[in-house]
Structures are given as structure tokens and as C-alpha cells.
Structure 1
């Protein structure tokens, strides 16, 4: 396969960004089709990028001239669309969450396993970010000894008023869930989510910020502050504390300016700016691996494990108590 013909389902903020990426930045790929409930949006993007708009996302997935699919649709339709990708043998890069709950996510894992071929990659793009990659390599080298604790900060400038407390866990905190599993190469077995008095800049009933504690099978721990109405900008930091030192990423120490009795550096407006390079690398490596008939990134199991942790996190959010993560036996599922 000399060129991968890509279709994108969902061309909102993230999907439109991916459409531009595939059409203008990604080598070895061509954008051939897009689908979105907003037909005018889909038609406008398709016309601008030389693709066609298809009203029905399942029709796009089944199309003979679509070799592979990027799912940037809402999470509640992912299960149906993923099963369609598996049915038609289409490799798929699925933005998180894999599905909305652990039960359906596990069914996706099992269905893919029955095919005998991995087709699903989950869009945990931080695994492709150069800073996170460098941190992973440092920790894996053993230079700092055994990693003991991970501290995370995840702040958005603002989110829509429809972004509720549960979405902070499932759509924002899920990134730190995957980061902790990846950096420690271990499963999270227990999660506790607590909330301080919320910011006064959110709707009634929204619990923002949130603080979470992850406990991993090997005894390590990770914490995260998620604050999605921070007002300042998009800020993601991670500090790993090990036996012989620590390492921190996400400090934004590019150009530091000193003027007017202040010292500082720019904070990006949103996630597309902070992780632009990560998204570029993620999609390029997905295309390259798909052309080779391989997978090079987070798997359906990673998506399922994150869904299971977030499901426990939602229970903890409601009760304020630690909740054990109910995770299927990986060997039993995948053999």
C-alpha cells in the first residue's frame, strides 16, 4: 500500500484538526472522506481539503475507498463505530474514550482479539509527545532508581458549560490515567477522587477542580489535579519522583521574558497548541504502522483499562471514598 486513504468520523474541534493534519501534514496518507452530524460543517471541510462528505458514519467506514478510519466522534457512539471498523477490517485511530464504560470497552477488546489482528489504536497522544517520551526513557533507564510517585497537573483555560463533573474524570483525567499506567508499566488498582470547594466560575453542581490519587499494583502512587476552568491557559505538568532524583516536564521553559517587574513564559491557549507535535507524530506513526500492517501505539486494552479506572473514579467522585478498579484478567482475555 503506497498511500493510505483515510476517512474521518466527526469533524468538530479535534476531528477538523485531524482532517487538516492528514490532508496537509501527514506523508503517505490522503484524506478521502469525512462525516459529521453537522452536514454543512462536513461539506465545508471536505470541499476545502479535497475530500467528500458522507452523511452516515457507518457508510464511511464501509466505503471501498476508505482504507483506515480516524474516530473523533463523541464517545457514546464509539462502540457501534468500532464494531463496524472491526467488521470491515478497517484499522482505526480512536480518540479517547474507547467507549463510555468498561463493559462495552471490554467487548471491543474481545471482538478485536477474535479477529486475530490488532486494528484499534487509542488516541492517548501524550505517549508521542517528545517531553513525555524523554521522561519515559529516563525512568526506564533506571538512572534515577525505582520511580515512586508521579505528580500531575492538568488545567484548561475554560470548557463549555455542558462539560459536567463526570466528564472531568472521563474526558480529562483519563489522560493522566493512561500516563500513569504507561510510565509505571503497571495497572491502577484503586482510585480516590476528592473535590475542594469548587471555583465560583462554573455552573451550579459542577465539581471543579478535582484531585485524584491512583494506587498501582506494584505499590507506586500517582496524584493529579484537574482544573478545567483555570482561566489562564492550557497547562499540563508531570513530575516523577524516584529513589535517586526527580524529573519534571511541562514547565513551558521556552522563551522566558523579564519585563515590567515580571518574569514569565507563554501558556498555550488550548490542547491543540500544547500537543500539536504529539498529534502530528501520533497520526504519522499510525499511518506508517497501518501501511506496514502493524500497530504502533496504545491498544484497545489500554483504552479498556483507562475506562475501568475512570468508571471507578466516577464512583469515588460520587462517594468521596477509595474504589477498587474492577479489571478483567488480561491473560484470560487476550490469551
Structure 2
């Protein structure tokens, strides 16, 4: 079965996902496009999916009988309305993060999906599909013993001037928030944020770097360095300390060179290059599930818990290292 896909939001990530489905992956076809900037949708049709219909609104696209499943890759503030519309229409929906811009909005999506009685939403937390993280999870499960601590870092070479302190949580740490819940099969109970000396490339509205300390229900302590103006490259690090051993996230494959009296490896500078393969795997997973009228992968509940945790971390930014409790509501049976 070929799943007929409609894409809402044809900016950089929407365009790239449309390209994947149309030219790289099996089982899907782009049949509909919509964007608040119609010219953007028209350009994707011309370049990638010439048979696709361009709709004036996302709601019209979702309602179309020609669309089997939906990709929501629009501005984050619009995600909730489109995901809720897809659930109401009974159509599988892949939603890029965030699921919603507030925890309350994400909970409304959870409640709507529970009422529908089946999984319809996959959230775009692509790190769960990264080969390195998959291998790390297996190592933690089978070799290193019960996890005790996690040391991690999320470093960007630079960010735009509009990037401000809370975005280090909502736009950057959000991926660690999700992948560590999955990696450890655990939930968070508290968050603290510590600010070291401010780096020279920061500005008045951005404290950079910062360290987030998360504690889990099983007692694991996680420290994550967020450094979004590190200058030298895009660098994702993760080390899990277990009772019997330590496991580290593997570095991206790179050629080691002896050159100019130096032993060196290249370091990536763009997140899209670091996780390009995982995007292919996650969307193939979505197409496989959508062909059965359902969804797989990260759930609406995962999106909701990420939002709850993010809110606590942002609150902790103003608490001078004081711990902020993270609620741990009961998980609906649909997501067991």
C-alpha cells in the first residue's frame, strides 16, 4: 500500500521530509501541500512532488479524501491545532517537535488520542532512531549494569541573535529530555540549572553555557552541558555510568588524518548532517505504521512529558541552582 501524504509547512524541514518520502523511502507519496506562504508550497510541488495539490489551509488538507496521513512541519505554535484536526479525522499524523508549545496543549492532544482509542500521532524525536543511540541503549541494557549517572553535552557552533536563554531548553535540550527517558526507561522528578561564567559570544538575553541537572524516579542523576556558541562544531556527547561499566555514545564516523604535524578528526558543524540517517529511519517507521492506520515511535505522551519537563527546566533557570519538582502524572493505558 502506498500511503498518500499531506505536508503542512513546507519550510526547510518540511521540504526535506517531502524529498525523503518522495525520492528516498518506500511506501509513501506526497499528494498534498500547504503553507502559510503559498509560494513555498508551490515551490515544493514544482521541485519535488509535481502531482501534489496545494491547499489554502492545513485544515482543508487534513479533510481531503485524497490524504491518508499528515506531516505537521509548520511553526510550532500551529502544531496543536493541526494534530487535533488529524486525530478528529482519524488520520495518522507525524508531528515535528514540539508536539505543542505548552504542556496544557500537549495534554489536550493526549486526551484526544485516548478518546479516539488508538495511536495516531508520532512525534519527531529522531534521536531514538540514531544508530549510535540505539547501540548505546543496547549496551546499557545488556552490559553496564543499572545506570547510576549520565554525563552529556549538546554543543552548537553558533546560534542566531534571536536565540535567548529559555530556548536552550525548548529548542536544544528538548532532544536530550526525550532520548534519556527512552534510553533509561525512566521518568524525571526534579531539575536544576546552573550557570557557569558567561561565554564571550553570549549576549544580553542569552546566558551561555548552562548546565541542567535532572534526577529520575529510579535515582539516576543526569548532568547536561548546553553550550550553543561553542564555536568549534556541532558536538553531541553522552556517557552512561552503570554499576558494572561505562558506555559512551559513539562519535560520528570520520576519517582520522595525520596532516600538518597533527593527528586529527573532522567535527561536524550542522545538526542535519549529524542525524541525517535517523530522519530516514523515523519517517520509514511512520510510513509503515500509517499504512496500517496507526502510528509508531515517540508518542503523544512522550511529547507531553517532554513539555512538562521543559517547563520545569525553564522555571529552574530562575531558581539559582534550586531544584524544581517535575510532575509525574499517571500514564494512560494507550501508551503502556
| Fold shared per TM-score above 0.5 | yes
Structure 1, gaps ≥5 residues long = none
1:133 aligns with: 134
1:222 aligns with: 222
- Whole-Å Cα distance in 2 between the matches of residues 152 and 171 of structure 1? 16
Please report how far the alpha carbon of residue 247 of structure 1 lies from its aligned counterpart in structure 2 after TM superposition: 1.2
2:163 aligns with: 163
CA deviation digits over 1:237-281, x for unaligned, max 9? 111111111111142353111211222222222111100110000
1:242 aligns with: 242
Contact kept in structure 1, 2:188 and 2:328, CA below 8 Å: no
- Whole-Å Cα distance in 2 between the matches of residues 161 and 76 of structure 1? 21
Any residues of structure 2 matched to 1:64-213 within 5 Å, and which?
Answer: 64-141=65-142, 143-213=143-213
Contact kept in structure 2, 1:110 and 1:334, CA below 8 Å: no
Residue 122 of structure 2 aligns to a residue whose secondary structure is: strand
TM-score (norm: length of structure 2): 0.94
TM-score (norm: length of structure 1): 0.95
Q: 1:63 to 1:163 in 2, by over 3 A?
A: farther
The count of corresponding residues between Structure 1 and Structure 2 is: 333
Cα RMSD of the aligned pairs, angstroms, is 1.7
Q: 1:64 to 1:313 in 2, by over 3 A?
A: same
1:305 aligns with: 305
Contact kept in structure 2, 1:161 and 1:202, CA below 8 Å: no
Contact kept in structure 1, 2:93 and 2:295, CA below 8 Å: no
Residue 215 of structure 1 aligns to a residue whose secondary structure is: strand
Contact kept in structure 2, 1:257 and 1:264, CA below 8 Å: yes
Q: Given the alignment of the two structures, is residue 284 of structure 1 paired with residue 274 of structure 2, yes or no?
A: no
Any residues of structure 2 matched to 1:247-262 within 5 Å, and which?
Answer: 247-262=247-262
Structure 2, gaps ≥5 residues long = none
Contact kept in structure 1, 2:301 and 2:335, CA below 8 Å: no
Residue 140 of structure 1 aligns to a residue whose secondary structure is: helix
Contact kept in structure 1, 2:308 and 2:326, CA below 8 Å: yes
CA deviation digits over 1:261-302, x for unaligned, max 9? 222222222111100110000001110121123432010000
- Whole-Å Cα distance in 2 between the matches of residues 327 and 9 of structure 1? 32
Q: Which moved more, 1:148-157 or 1:214-223?
A: 148-157
Q: 1:200 to 1:38 in 2, by over 3 A?
A: farther
2:331 aligns with: 330
Q: Which moved more, 1:27-36 or 1:226-235?
A: 226-235
1:35 aligns with: 34
Contact kept in structure 1, 2:150 and 2:240, CA below 8 Å: yes
Residue 112 of structure 1 aligns to a residue whose secondary structure is: helix
- Whole-Å Cα distance in 1 between the matches of residues 111 and 334 of structure 2? 7
Residue 258 of structure 1 aligns to a residue whose secondary structure is: strand
Contact kept in structure 2, 1:121 and 1:300, CA below 8 Å: yes
Contact kept in structure 2, 1:253 and 1:265, CA below 8 Å: no
Residue 230 of structure 2 aligns to a residue whose secondary structure is: coil
Please report how far the alpha carbon of residue 29 of structure 1 lies from its aligned counterpart in structure 2 after TM superposition: 0.4
- Whole-Å Cα distance in 1 between the matches of residues 250 and 131 of structure 2? 11
Contact kept in structure 1, 2:92 and 2:294, CA below 8 Å: no
